[in-house]
Structure 1
Amino acid sequence: MLTIGLTGGIGSGKSAAADAFRALGINVVDADWAARVVVQPGQPALADIAAHFGAEILLENGALDRAKLRGLVFESAGERTWLEALLHPLIREEIVRALAASTSPYAILESPLLIESGQYRLVDRICVVDVPENLQVERASNRDQSDPEGIRKIIAAQIPREERLAKADDILDNSGDLAALQAQIEPLHQRYLKLATTD
Structure 2
Amino acid sequence: MIDPADKFLAGLRKIMAERGLKEATLSEAAGMNSSYLRDLKRGKAASPKLSTALRIADHLGMSVDQIIGAADRSVAPGPTIAIAGTVGAGAQVPLVDVYEKGDGPHVLAPQGLGVHGIVAVEVEGDSMEPTYSSGDILFYSRETHDGVPSEALGHTCVCEDENGMVWVKQVKLGSEPGLFHLISLNPQSDNIHDVSLKWASRVRLHWPRDLAVKL
TM over 0.5: no
TMscore range, shorter length: under 0.3
Instruction: Between the two structures, name the one with larger relative contact order (CA 8 Å, sep ≥ 6).
Output: 1
Bigger helix share: 1
| Structure whose alpha-carbon radius of gyration is higher | 2
TM-score (norm 1): 0.23
> Which has more strand, going by share of residues?
2
TM-score (norm 2): 0.22
